[in-house]
Structure 1
Amino acid sequence: MLDVEKSVLYVAFGSLAEITIDQFRELAMGLENSGVHFLWVMRIPFEDEFLNEFEERVKGRGVLVKNQWVDQVEILRHGSVSGLMSHCGWNSVLESICESVPLLGFPITADQYWNARMVEDYYGVGVKVLTDTGSVRGFFSSECIANKVKELMNVECVKGKEIRENVKKLKGRGAAARSAMEEGGSSWDALDMFIDQLIFGKKKK
């Protein structure tokens, strides 16, 4: 982990989300051009000179963790982390809110598009990457990615300040969200009921 107090962007897209090679390269260039410190936990979709050259160029302010499992919650709790760039899977959204870390939504599929909108437009605890046409669905350019990264990580700009104030307001709710994911919590019970329906074809009593 980079030892830079409250200035590191943690980048992770879960274990299932698939990113195309072209989008992967745009993402890498966007992070590079943003100028921020970052920790990127990645599943590598390819291995070629681009990735090697990218890693060399960002050495000193960017750390790449390749094809390894990490404890995301522990990373979010680290004092250097000031933002999470995520596919906005619901677990990642909850974990980020619970640890009061602002989000940068990079949706890829399923409910992630709605979650990314909710993060910015409803809760105001992050921003979402947009395509050149203003949509959350499609191909995200490196320029758009770099701009949104800087917007989230700049604690001096109006948007950055508002996001961090909103995250602090949700800090108390974070305890409720955390308890919902624990055994006996509402999220835990809902998942338990869903699994029972799949296996036994009936609701758990």
Structure 2
Amino acid sequence: MEEKIKDRGLIVSEWVDQRQILSHRAIGGFLSHCGWNSVLESVVAGVPILAWPMIAEQSLNAKLIVDGLGAGLSVKRVQNQGSEILVSRQAISEGVKELMGGQKGRSARERAEALGRVARRAVQKDGSSHDTLSKLIDHLRAY
């Protein structure tokens, strides 16, 4: 595969800093399984998600991002005659196109950017998360 795409892409087979990648200005969206860490990192970076949940809590996280927060879109999935849920190349392609250039994608991107600003403010000095954590630490020190 690496030989096949050497002039058009990059395969990284080792660990990468996903937060750093999501924060890069060239990133316009994130095709994600919607694990909680990935969701948080995407929200903080202000990057909309193309949700492709697979197991555990990922479907709930995807529902929160897409339906609850409006900061992403779902990949269209089809259940075959068995219990497998399939995602076609076309569904991924359509999802990426909508996320990057469609009206729903534009709305998701704007919402993700707004959530990112709020999330980053919350962890800064005097932000809500920063203050709450400081209060907890002060309370624990008192004992």
Query: The TM-score by the shorter chain falls in which range?
Result: 0.7 to 0.9
Of 103, 120, 124, the residue aligned with 2:70 is 124
Q: Comparing both structures, which one devotes a greater share of its residues to helix?
A: 2
Q: What pairs up with 1:69-88 in 2 under 5 angstroms?
A: 69-88=15-34
Give aligned-pair identity as a percent.
37
Of 129, 134, 151, the residue aligned with 2:98 is 151
- Judge conservation of contact 1:132–1:144 (CA < 8 Å) in 2: no
User: Counterpart of 1:64 in 2: which secondary structure?
Assistant: coil
Of 141, 144, 162, the residue aligned with 2:88 is 141
Between the two proteins, the alignment pairs up a number of residues equal to 128
Q: Distance in 2 between matches of 1:152 and 1:122?
A: 17
Report the TM-score when normalising by structure 2.
0.75
Q: Distance in 2 between matches of 1:171 and 1:153?
A: 18
Q: What pairs up with 1:56-67 in 2 under 5 angstroms?
A: 56=4, 59-60=7-8, 62-66=9-13
| 1:153 Cα deviation after fit | 1.6
Of 91, 95, 100, the residue aligned with 2:37 is 91
Q: Comparing both structures, which one devotes a greater share of its residues to strand?
A: 1
* Cα 1:148/1:96, change in 2 over 3 Å: same
* Cα 1:151/1:76, change in 2 over 3 Å: same
| 1:56 Cα deviation after fit | 2.0
- Judge conservation of contact 1:98–1:177 (CA < 8 Å) in 2: no
| 1:88 Cα deviation after fit | 0.3
Residue aligning to 2:140: none
The reply to whether residue 161 of structure 1 matches residue 106 of structure 2 is: yes
Segments ≥4 residues shifted beyond 4 Å: 177-182
Q: Distance in 2 between matches of 1:97 and 1:159?
A: 17
Q: Which runs of 5+ in 2 are unaligned?
A: 138-142
**Cα RMSD after superposing both structures:** 2.9
* Cα 1:65/1:181, change in 2 over 3 Å: farther
* Cα 1:78/1:165, change in 2 over 3 Å: same
Q: Which runs of 5+ in 1 are unaligned?
A: 1-50, 190-204
- Judge conservation of contact 1:84–1:103 (CA < 8 Å) in 2: yes
